[in-house]
Structure formats: structure tokens, C-alpha cells
Structure 1
């Protein structure tokens, strides 16, 4: 299970922020997409 401090979550968040990928392109590995979405939403508050 991934959490907000997981390295892979940080990588995907940075790729999304830089515009390389979108949230829809995050692979469906365990709860990765859900955690990445949550971090992005927190950053947009």
C-alpha cells in the first residue's frame, strides 16, 4: 500500500505537476492512483 510519503507517489506527483502526465495516466497499482490524486488535490487547496 502506498501513502503520501511513498517515493513512487512523489515521482508521479512531480510528473503531473510538470505536465508530463495526467492523473488519468497513473497506473492502477494498488492504491497508487488514489493517493496521487489526494496529494494533487491537497496541493491545489
Structure 2
């Protein structure tokens, strides 16, 4: 399974990180989820 910036789970985690509920280091290592969320939050995706 591969996540993209348009995946629902990525969008949920990005919003949770952006509002401060979670930090990037708390995103679970699930396939490429953490990498994609990090890219979106940092504006590189």
C-alpha cells in the first residue's frame, strides 16, 4: 500500500499536525504515511 498527498488518512494526519494535536514525530510509521505527511506539512509535496 502506498499513500499519496490525496489519501484520506494523509489529509487527516496533516490536519491533526497543523492544528497542533499531534507532532510530526507522533505520526505512525505505516508504509509511507509518515514521509508523505511530513512532505505535505513542510510544503514539499
TM-score by length of 1: 0.91
More helix by share: 1
- Tell me which stretches of 4 or more aligned residues in structure 1 moved more than 6 Å: none
Tell me the equivalent position of 2:20. 19
Report the count of equivalent residues. 43
Aligned alpha-carbon RMSD (Å): 1.1
Runs of 5+ consecutive residues of structure 2 not aligned to the other structure: none
Instruction: Tell me if 1:5 matches 2:23.
Output: no
Q: Give the distance between the partners of 1:22 and 1:41, measured in 2 at CA.
A: 13
